[in-house]
Amino acid sequence: MQTYILMTTLTPGDLGNADARRGKGKEWLEHVHRACPEVKWVAHYALLGRYDFMDIYEAPDDATAHKVSLISRSEGAATAESWPAMAWDQHLQLLKDVED
């Protein structure tokens, strides 16, 4: 499975109420589970800065990652970006492969 990083921002109105945010987050996760049952969630973080949340997940392919981003937008995210990510040791191996 490929690792992806989902970066999302919400509208200011969606950030103000903890109970409402918890409910929307639960609805979003249930929607992703229904549409993409093969997705494995690794971590979820709230952030300071340009993005409000970062989720790390594994998916079998880019099409599934697109679905996760689309669901995020349809469930109220102002922006959603899914980035492919690679483990550090894999990166070093690729670097070694191209050094020759």
pLDDT digits (tens, 9 = 90+) for 20-50: 778 888 888 999 999 999 999 999 999 999 9
More confident residue, 11 or 56: 56
- Residue 48 vs residues 9, 35, 70, 77: alpha-carbon distances, Å: 11, 29, 23, 16
Q: How far apart are CA 58 and CA 46, in angstroms?
A: 19
- Which domains, from first to last, does the chain contain? 2-99 (3.30.70.1060)
Q: Cβ atoms within 10 A of the Cβ of 34, count?
A: 9
**How confident is the model over 52-100, as pLDDT tens digits?**
999 999 999 999 999 999 999 988 899 999 999 999 999 999 999 998 7
pLDDT at residue number 59: 97
Judged against a pLDDT cut of 80, whether residue 2 lies above it is answered with yes
Q: Of 58, 48, 53, 44, which Cα lies nearest the Cα of 1?
A: 58
| pTM (2 d.p.) | 0.86
The pLDDT, as a whole number, for residue 11 is 83
Which secondary-structure segment (H or E) carries 93?
helix 88-99
Predicted confidence at residue 80, as pLDDT, reads 93
Give the burial class of 54: count Cβ atoms within 10 A of its Cβ; 0-12 exposed, 13-18 middle, 19 or more buried. Answer: middle
16 has pLDDT over 80: no
